[in-house]
Chain A
């Protein structure tokens, strides 16, 4: 028995040795911050404030739940995440199905469709900003200005800017989901699709009865990535409205409180309100696709 365990122990030691750098980095740069954030959300910590930091319990959370501004940001976030996810998914499926069949120039089309995601978001977002919200002195600003006023007139101030953010998110996200699902389609044995062609004449039925179930794990992961990025979206909103946030989402709200307002406590609490959402989505979707460690079996 003694002999049997030495080889095993050697394996375990090697494993932890190999994992050490990763765990060390993730612990300092992830676990610690998350812990810090949970604690901070229970205090009134602020770098701008003199005097000791007080423990305030759930006060920060209570204040949010009573604040209509928070509920507005939360609603906007949820709507934003839902709308963009549905759009991204449908477009992404479209991309994937179109690219799944061979045709001349497929590689080029592939690159074109992939480009929005591969391109730095902050940079391409400027292109969009320039296109949709041109500042006054440019050639076609009158035209876009009219569009903007028309939209804002119907939906309220800042609607056009927010619509821009949504369009941008869809444009960029559907690119990624398309490529991701294409990889999924390629991973499914083609016989399964061919068999389906023999079974049913209707392409629509085939799509729902064969393609969708086969791609389910990929779809689930795509939805998850799409929802999480949308929930946590700060960069896009920030950039497309040039920092002048008209329709706040939870992420930008927190940024304002923390960086501009120096109110770390409330900002942390606000960020953490995302967690239950994310966990719920994660749980639902994990049921649909196998978590990574199950593949080992």
Chain B
């Protein structure tokens, strides 16, 4: 890099960096502080002499306890996990096969199909939830996890396919050809050679799919109605806000707990994720 004067580095680098980081993290900090603040402090007057808006002196886990004991939050966690894992698995399976076919096999309409699958990823859920609600009603899977497990792949598969296709293309064709000469069938070469090499790509597609399913809101809002069947994103919003009464401590506790799985997944795999995104990892 170019050598710069010190004050310049501060003005152009450290100060903006700090501003950005504080900006992105502040809401999380605010949630955390609210979650561990006792109710008494939470609802104290703004002008009270003892008011400490940015920190708390009596941290408590009472909201977390209430959340686990008094609400159906544990159900939501389980529902969300189940739905996210199953729909991710389905999408990865389809995406792997389709991505391989589009990247490696020559067949009529390959280009058209590839583009259309890519374009379907861009169809926003706002366009789809009305007719999908109709289908869900027809199949009578409304208010069950299957309603979401069947609809989430609509946006997960296109992305998985697209990402994995890009990844497969970065794997030299000769590896597979060599395997086929070595005695493997095309399918065998795919399973024994290509898929193991594509693990980083598969991982990043999986993480992506998992996050999207975990975070999904609209379909979950429309297709699920019983309180104990909801997912975390919807449950937290719809069950912890009743009329104008907000259970702020619990809300924040739920918000934090409910996103721990995703946050964990990311902190471990973020490198894979980014490289997988550009499909540019080389063996």
Binding site for B on A (CB under 8 A): 11-12, 14-16, 18-19, 21-23, 25-26, 28-30, 32-34, 36-37, 40, 91, 94-95, 98, 101, 103, 109-116, 118-124, 126-128, 130-131, 135, 137-143, 171, 175, 179-180, 182-184, 186-187, 197, 224-225, 228-229, 231-235, 238-239, 242, 250-251, 254-255, 258-259, 264, 267-268, 271-272, 274-275, 278, 282, 291-293, 295-296
B46 at interface, CB cutoff 8 A: yes
B179 at interface, CB cutoff 8 A: no
Is there contact, CB below 8 Å, between A120 and B258?
yes
Q: Give the distance in Å from the alpha carbon of A16 to the alpha carbon of B252 in the complex.
A: 48
Could you say which residues of chain A place their CB within 8 Å of the CB of B41? 139
Could you say which residues of chain A place their CB within 8 Å of the CB of B26? 131
Q: Give the distance in Å from the alpha carbon of A30 to the alpha carbon of B108 in the complex.
A: 22
Could you write out 16 A-B pairs with CB less than 8 Å apart? A18-B100, A19-B102, A21-B97, A33-B131, A33-B132, A122-B217, A123-B236, A123-B258, A127-B31, A143-B46, A171-B27, A180-B277, A228-B122, A251-B126, A271-B127, A274-B127
Query: What's the least CB distance linking B220 to chain A, in Å?
Result: 9
Interface size class of B (residues with CB under 8 A): 35 or more
Is there contact, CB below 8 Å, between B211 and A118?
yes
**Interface majority SS (helix, strand, loop, mixed), chain B:** helix
Give 4 closest A-B pairs by Cβ, nearest first. A232-B124, A33-B131, A122-B233, A18-B101
Is there contact, CB below 8 Å, between B45 and A139?
yes
Complex interface: stretch among B63-71, B195-203, B243-251: B243-251
Q: Give the distance in Å from the alpha carbon of A113 to the alpha carbon of B270 in the complex.
A: 12
Q: Which of B140-166 contact A (CB under 8 A)?
A: 150-151, 153-154, 157-158, 161-162, 165-166
Could you say which residues of chain A place their CB within 8 Å of the CB of B263? 115, 118-119
Is there contact, CB below 8 Å, between B131 and A142?
no
Could you say which residues of chain B place their CB within 8 Å of the CB of A229? 124
Given contacts A36-B131, A120-B214, A250-B126, 20 further A-B contacts (CB under 8 A): A11-B186, A18-B105, A23-B113, A26-B117, A26-B154, A94-B20, A98-B13, A109-B17, A113-B20, A114-B270, A119-B215, A123-B232, A124-B255, A127-B28, A141-B46, A197-B2, A255-B126, A271-B127, A274-B124, A293-B111
Query: What's the least CB distance linking B9 to chain A, in Å?
Result: 10
Could you say which residues of chain A place their CB within 8 Å of the CB of B278? 183-184, 186-187
Which of these, A28, A184, A271, contacts B130 with CB under 8 Å?
A271
Complex: chain A residue closest to B244, CB-CB? A135
Is there contact, CB below 8 Å, between B124 and A231?
yes
Is there contact, CB below 8 Å, between A235 and B31?
no
Which of these, A15, A182, A232, contacts B101 with CB under 8 Å?
A15
Taken residue by residue from 59 to 102, chain B's Cβ proximity to chain A (1 for < 8 Å, 0 otherwise) reads as 00000000000000000000000000000000001110110111
Is there contact, CB below 8 Å, between A109 and B34?
no
Is there contact, CB below 8 Å, between A11 and B46?
no
- Given A114-B266, A115-B25, A127-B252, A30 and B128 contact (CB-CB distance below 8 Å): yes
Is there contact, CB below 8 Å, between A183 and B107?
no
Is there contact, CB below 8 Å, between A29 and B262?
no
Is there contact, CB below 8 Å, between A22 and B43?
no
- Given A15-B105, A111-B267, A123-B258, A29 and B215 contact (CB-CB distance below 8 Å): no
**Interface majority SS (helix, strand, loop, mixed), chain A:** helix
Q: Give the distance in Å from the alpha carbon of A36 to the alpha carbon of B129 in the complex.
A: 12
Query: What's the least CB distance linking B113 to chain A, in Å?
Result: 7
Is there contact, CB below 8 Å, between A130 and B31?
yes
Is there contact, CB below 8 Å, between A101 and B1?
yes
Complex: chain B residue closest to A25, CB-CB? B153
- Given A115-B25, A118-B266, A197-B2, A295 and B169 contact (CB-CB distance below 8 Å): yes
Which of these, A33, A110, A116, A130, contacts B248 with CB under 8 Å?
A130
Q: Give the distance in Å from the alpha carbon of A258 to the alpha carbon of B131 in the complex.
A: 10
Residue in A23, A235, A291 whose Cβ sees the most chain B Cβ within 10 Å? A235
Could you say which residues of chain B place their CB within 8 Å of the CB of A11? 105-107, 186
- Given A34-B123, A113-B20, A232-B125, A22 and B94 contact (CB-CB distance below 8 Å): yes
- Given A14-B105, A26-B158, A293 and B110 contact (CB-CB distance below 8 Å): yes
Q: Give the distance in Å from the alpha carbon of A120 to the alpha carbon of B237 in the complex.
A: 12
Query: What's the least CB distance linking A12 to chain B, in Å?
Result: 4
Q: Give the distance in Å from the alpha carbon of A183 to the alpha carbon of B45 in the complex.
A: 47
Is there contact, CB below 8 Å, between A26 and B162?
no
Is there contact, CB below 8 Å, between B131 and A32?
yes
